[in-house]
Structure 1
Amino acid sequence: MSPEPLPDTPAPVTAESAAKQYKIWQVIAASAAGTMIEWYDFYIFGSLAPIISGLFFPKDNPTAGYLLTLATFATGFAVRPFGALFFGRIGDLVGRKYAFLVTLLLMGGATTVIGVLPTYTQIGIVAPLLLVVIRLLQGLALGGEYGGAAVYVAEHSPDERRGFYTSFIQITATLGLFVSLAVVLSVRLFLGEEEFKAWGWRIPFLLSALLVGMSLYIRLRLKESPIFTKLKKEGKTSSAPIKDSFGNKRNWKVILLALFGATAGQGVIWYTGQFYALFFLQNTLKVSFVHANIIVAVALALAMPLFVFFGSLSDRIGRKKVMMAGNLLAALSYYPIYMGMKAFSEPYNPIALTGLVFIQVVFVTLVYGPIAAYLVEAFPAKIRYTSLSLPYHVGNGVFGGLLPFIASAVTVATGNIYAGLLYPIAVASITFVVGSLYLKETKDVRIWEELEASRKPEA
């Protein structure tokens, strides 16, 4: 299972030759399938948050239990940057393929354990403590997974179509959420409400073991990234990726710009348009569990092709223009959208509610579709996995992942159902300003030129 080196030939390895040799669509399918399953594992917890709050926390204060569930949900996001550093280092030292094989196994094992975890009534306070530990493990795994998949696909893609090809990895996060909602709904409708709450909620978690096994089989058949293979063969990889990534002032500047000018806004828009919309429907507007999940699932399904559209568009007009448009539109639109959701909840209008959630997911596709290509192009190959993983997972794991808890807590504290929107609006606005002023356009970066540069002796 060791990586197969590229053949020694006088001609340099090019994007086109590597794409042909490594069969780009097989690479995308294998990478996307595994990443989708990891997102499914991570988000199944959020999809079942209302039920988990009553099973793993004391029932005497439902509001406190729900907020504690969201806080537990957020711990998995908060630890993602540490997973990014740990697995990013492995990916830059050992290889992209090895790193995301390990993350897949860790995530699948942790998710499966939730499916057999005793509840609060069975083992008391130990139940939520174990739940937090498992969420931490899931966060560590996801912190390493995304960077590996994004880099792996990008390093197989031609420079001029990188936005298009990497956008299929960008679909996986929303697809994972969609699959988690679909599985939850299917099991709930098949078993009925009482059986589902009693034990059926465990089935989506246990299903992870089967999905991970299938994905692991597919990924074991992959070769290593051609760019990484070539750099490693020539001794050009980093021996200390963390030091090389964060001990360099210039690289720190790029990391901070990537965070505040791209991923922070992208993170809050992602979680507002999908998770917070779901929580708002269920807990604020009191739309039933089944109907709320159907509304969000339909909106996700309708919007998913737009990830590829905007990823491809960024190949032509630039990553920056597409991402900044998404941040600006979201910041200006959230208040009227959520006021509209309130208006269409009484009397209940599922078509209008689905349309309003769909608009929010369109904003997600604008900011998220091009971002993998941008991050890959912003950093050199020898420290790419480590460097891009940190701003991505701080932006998504901290700024985005904490959003449901922060927004819900602000809403409870103020009594204003729209007050929680101040947080995503503020972060998206900051990202729009910083990104518009300082972010460099990267669509014309040629990462394959590093292979030629690596062949030349250093001066």
Structure 2
Amino acid sequence: MTQKSHAIGKEKRRVILATMVGTTIEWYDFFIYAICAGLVFSTEFFGALGGDALILSFATVGISFLFRPLGAVIAGHLGDRLGRRAMLILTLVLMGGATVLMGLVPSTAAIGVAAPIILLMLRILQGLSAGGEWGGAALLAVEHAPTTRRGFFGSFPQIGVPIGLLLANGVLAVVTAVTTAEQFLAWGWRIPFLLSAVLIGIGTVIRVRVAESPVFEEVRQSREQSGLPIVPLFKHHWKLVLLGALVFAANNAAGYMTTGGYVQSYSTEVLGMASSPVLIAVMFAAIAWLCTTLLGGWLSDRIGRLRTYKIGFMFQLAWMFPFFALINAANFWLLMLALVLFSVGLGLSYGPQSALYAEMYPTKVRYSGAAISYALGAVLGGAFAPTIAQALQSSTGNVHTVGMYLAVLTVIGLAATFLIKDHSGRTLGDAPEPEHEPVPERT
């Protein structure tokens, strides 16, 4: 009995590591582009195209999000048919490969308009990959978890985002510190992109060793898989898909103030702060986001997924305007304080997401449902959040209009949580239909 228990524990630890490390690598790749959109690409790739180069550069961050739903549909279909693990490996390789190639693309000065076009194509490939990555990682973690710890287990693929942000900002902070501004724009920015080749190898080795989800294996052995999962998903669960997307949109839009590069760009280009201290402040925020995401997952196992979400959204809403007021001080310590406290609401409304989505859908359509809700939420929330924020700030000259925009999305996300039933603790092998009675929230 002891040996069996130890073996099960070892496998669960391997799953946690695989989902966390793989997601970290995926989002390191994604964030490197998002951050460089404000620091590099606006001048080196899009400046010669005319118009507002910064807005155009941020728009390429958002355009990739439009391809996330397609990536989610493809990966969801294959994930519900072939399994979670195969999709995790495929999406990791696609994301990392695109990132490495970005580091090799010549600038517009060297090859003309072909440079931004190639960069955009590779960014779209990243969008397709990101659309399928999260659903597989989240479900693998939650479907391996003990019933009473799904929220906590599911928070580990979630912390891949702040760890990826931490890693991306850390590498860029080092590179900007050891190069001059001219060297960084000429070749230094390419180093973080090329480093992804090493990370792909590490992540692939870890993910190959992970066992398939036991819940999915039960469905596969019973031959109850849906031939085309997206059809029953939208026929029976379209309201859940929409509500899940609205909940994530509120969190994602706020998160992309830092992960999408807007705060970094605003602090350096408008407020005149140096790049290195801004990146360091974002790194501390990423650490806070990591901790509060784990706290959100843990808390959701005790008080319910939706109560945790509501607490997170209310904190996010309350801090929205003080957040931008402190940033406007153009002081390193106040910037760090603003970002760290902003991360509290982000973490509490992000940690429970894997478990919430997994418990919302039946096994036969779970990957498709989780991935598509996530991808649509990313389109509605983070896709053009940096672009919209930049446009609002540029047109009004007032950064608090950005706070108003984010506050509206937060209220919408908060309202959506009141329309979703909390199914915490339900058996994942027999997930409830939307019309069933919810499990009462825990007190």
RMSD: 1.9
Structure 1 partner of 2:377 = 395
SS in 2 for 1:23: helix
Structure 1 Cα separation of the partners of residues 196 and 411 of structure 2: 37
- TM-superposed deviation, 1:279: 3.1
Structure 2 partner of 1:369 = 351
Structure 2 partner of 1:270 = 255
1:190 equivalenced with 2:172 (yes/no)? no
Deviation larger for 21-30 or 399-408: 21-30
2:245·2:378 contact (CA, 8 Å) conserved in 1?
no
Equivalent of 2:420, from 423, 433, 439? Answer: 439
Structure 2 partner of 1:330 = 316
- TM-superposed deviation, 1:268: 1.6
Structure 2 Cα separation of the partners of residues 103 and 174 of structure 1: 19
1:161·1:312 contact (CA, 8 Å) conserved in 2?
yes
Structure 2 partner of 1:259 = 245
Structure 2 Cα separation of the partners of residues 257 and 197 of structure 1: 42
Structure 1 Cα separation of the partners of residues 7 and 169 of structure 2: 34
1:319 equivalenced with 2:305 (yes/no)? yes
Task: Output aligned runs, 1:445-456, within 5 Å.
Answer: 445-449=426-430
How many percent of aligned residue pairs carry the same amino acid? 34
1:150 equivalenced with 2:172 (yes/no)? no
> Partner amino acid for 1:333?
W
- TM-superposed deviation, 1:282: 2.2
> Partner amino acid for 1:197?
L
Structure 1 Cα separation of the partners of residues 23 and 7 of structure 2: 20
Deviation larger for 320-329 or 310-319: 320-329
Size of the aligned set, in residue pairs, is 426
- TM-superposed deviation, 1:401: 2.3
Task: Output aligned runs, 1:331-350, within 5 Å.
Answer: 331-342=317-328, 344-345=329-330, 348=331, 350=332
2:393·2:399 contact (CA, 8 Å) conserved in 1?
yes
1:292 equivalenced with 2:275 (yes/no)? no
Structure 1 partner of 2:402 = 420
Structure 1 partner of 2:340 = 358
Equivalent of 2:190, from 181, 189, 202? Answer: 202
Structure 2 Cα separation of the partners of residues 220 and 433 of structure 1: 40
Structure 2 partner of 1:169 = 157
1:112·1:205 contact (CA, 8 Å) conserved in 2?
yes
> Partner amino acid for 2:420?
L
1:120·1:126 contact (CA, 8 Å) conserved in 2?
yes
Structure 2 partner of 1:87 = 75
Structure 1 Cα separation of the partners of residues 162 and 423 of structure 2: 25
- TM-score by structure 2 length? 0.92
> Partner amino acid for 1:447?
L
> Partner amino acid for 2:252?
G
SS in 2 for 1:155: helix
Structure 1 partner of 2:30 = 42
> Partner amino acid for 1:365?
G
Structure 2 partner of 1:226 = 214
Q: Can you give the 5+ residue segments of structure 2 that lack an aligned partner in the other structure? A: 432-443
- TM-score by structure 1 length? 0.89
Equivalent of 1:378, from 357, 360, 366? Answer: 360
Equivalent of 1:237, from 225, 232, 244? Answer: 225
- TM-superposed deviation, 1:219: 1.2
Structure 1 138/19 Cα, relative in aligned 2: closer, same or farther at 3 Å?
Answer: farther
